[in-house]
Amino acid sequence: MLPKFGNVLIGYTLIKVMPRDVSSFAKKNGFIWGPEPEIYNGLAGFYTYGPMGKALKTNVEDLLRSVFDSNEFWEVETPIIAPAQVWKASGHLAGFTDPLIRDVANNIFRADKLIEEYMLNNGMNPDEENVGSLNAEALLKLIKKYEIKSPNGKLLKMNIENHNLMMKTTIGTDIEAYSRPETATTTYLPFRNYHEYFRKKMPMKVYQVGKSFRNEISPRQSVVRGREFTQFEAQLFLFENHKHEFEDYDKVKEAKIQLWSSKDQLEKKGWNAVTLQNALKKGIIKNKAYAWSLSLAQAFVKSLGIPEDRVRYRQHHLDEKAFYSNDTWDLEFRTDSFGWIEIAGISDRNDYDLKQHAKSSGQNLTIEGETPHIIELAFGSDRIVYTLLDVFLEDEKVGDDTRVVWRIPRNLAPVRFAIFPLQKKDGLAEKAREVYDSLSRAHRCVLDESGSIGKRYRRQDERGTPQCITIDYDTLKDDTVTLRDRDTMEQKRIKISDLK
């Protein structure tokens, strides 16, 4: 039997669940504020990123950009709102729903999330019941089995409704339209322009970073479940034969990824790290282009520094994935706050999307008589940000004291250097400003003159600043400073010219 995280199967060691109040930490340190607008009592599912949070989110999205830019993807930007005809063609108007359940006081909740939260709070593993892929009848059976009530202790009505997630608006006086629930659909629509721009060469690679909107049922869990959120979605347009003859596959075939197949999930088995080559040979994944797409997601995961025992790729069950999907896997991270959460979806969508929009618009979206297929990689920026706050946040004993330290990897830290003059007099403040101005040309820095040096160190530890620089009287003599490391707390003298 595999060891477990709480009651979650993992292939490593026993790890105790230690939830932290990440939301309070995020609010205190200027990462995430809300629900917004706070002065009007807030509306669930809408949040503000403070200075630290916005800087972190930008770093995450720039890291994604670097992965996809280096693999010849191009960024585009499309409208957020589209007329109803678009969403009817894509299937969103009819089928983009979540399971809603009410209690006897008519409060509403998302049924699957209510069950997951109950199980996690009671030391059980939602994976063992495959909660995320169950239909309404199966969800009701679990609610009865565990005698689940609403969070306020009221009885639930044994009826599940389909709640449409689309946010409706009106253009002008009478044009029915909707805010996009994901960026993918509006990214597909300029297909003919892509074909011309890329000089009619296939495959074509584009991505979009932008806001999407979903009318979520009673969203909780901070930015993990928002009604307004940011997505980073990449689209690979290719012919069907390209999937099996994808040239770049050979460059990544030895990459190892933690795959949890539908078969292993149903058999209550854990996941294993396998090479893409072996996964393809065993039929766990279906084609070379899809394997290459998984390698892009994994390259991004590695750049985040998330520990391996917190990462898995979970395959959708046959009755869970969209009917048109050839294959879909979710990249999931294990958080201390909410267990496993979906960070990205990687889906082989076949030729469904372009065929649907060709049929609805009456336009020809084929190339030489063939409708291209699409492989999509869809990341949620907000969920990645929350995971980074959760995973790297620690309480550390230092003598008789406890320090809060956020060990975010250096390449993602919102602030690279904090600069402290030992005192505000005798030219130290001016020298600190000189160092700040120099380093700020290449890095985001802060200049902090308030409080004792020890308090300033603790403040920056909590905000994840990798290194602090102290300007003292020796600095005025020899142009050296004290460089202090966040993780080890070690200090050393270094020339100002060597700071980088």
| Rounded average pLDDT over 393-408 | 92
Contacts of 77 (CB under 8 A, 6+ apart): 208, 210
What is the Cα–Cα distance from 189 to 208, expressed in whole angstroms? Answer: 13
Mean pLDDT of 114-138: 85
The pLDDT assigned to 20 comes to 61
Q: What is the average pLDDT across 446-467?
A: 96
Average pLDDT, the chain: 93
Model confidence pLDDT, tens digit, residues 293-325: 999 999 999 999 999 999 999 999 998 888 899
Cβ(198)–Cβ(192) under 8 Å? no
pLDDT recorded at residue 383: 98
Average of per-residue pLDDT across 329-353: 96
**Counting beta carbons within 10 angstroms of the beta carbon of residue 205, is it exposed (0 to 12), middle (13 to 18) or buried (19 or more)?**
middle
Contact 92, 167 (CB under 8 A): no
Q: What pLDDT shows up at residue 17?
A: 35
Checking if the pLDDT of 486 tops 60, the result is yes
pLDDT category of residue 14 using cuts at 50, 70 and 90: very low
Q: What is the pLDDT of residues 320-336, one digit of tens each?
A: 888 899 999 999 999 99
**pLDDT attached to residue 214:** 96
* 177 Cβ contact list (under 8 Å, min separation 6): 81, 82, 83, 84, 168, 169, 170, 171
How does pLDDT run across 240-277, given as a tens digit for each residue? 999 999 999 999 999 999 999 999 999 989 999 999 99
Q: Which residue has the higher pLDDT, 399 or 46?
A: 46
User: Is pLDDT above 60 for 2?
Assistant: no
* pLDDT at residue 126, rounded to an integer: 85
SS3 of 470, please? Answer: strand
- Span 340-366, average pLDDT: 97
pLDDT score at 429: 96
Higher pLDDT: 19 or 434? It is 434
pLDDT for the residue numbered 451 = 92
Quote the pTM value: 0.90
Name residue 229's beta-bridge partners.
212
DSSP string, 93-161: HHH-EEEEEEETT--EEEHHHHHHHHHHHTT--GGGGTGGG--HHHHHHHHHHHT---TTSPPEEEEEE
Higher pLDDT, 206 or 130: 206
Hey, what are 99's tokens? 């399971």
Could you give the CA distance from residue 449 to residue 453 in angstroms, rounded to a whole number? 9
Residue type, 157: K
Strands (E), 172-310: 175-179, 204-213, 228-238, 256-260, 272-275
The tokens for 250 are 């050979």
Q: Does residue 3 carry a pLDDT above 70? A: no
Q: What whole-number distance in Å separates Cα of residue 318 and Cα of residue 276? A: 21
Q: Look at 15 and 69; give whichever has higher pLDDT.
A: 69
123 conformational bin, left if phi > 0, alpha if psi -120 to 50, beta if neither: left
Q: What whole-number distance in Å separates Cα of residue 181 and Cα of residue 54?
A: 22
Res. 420 pLDDT band, cuts 50 70 90: very high
Give the per-residue pLDDT at 254: 97
Q: Which residue has the higher pLDDT, 13 or 461?
A: 461
Asked whether the predicted pLDDT for residue 170 surpasses 50, the reply is: yes
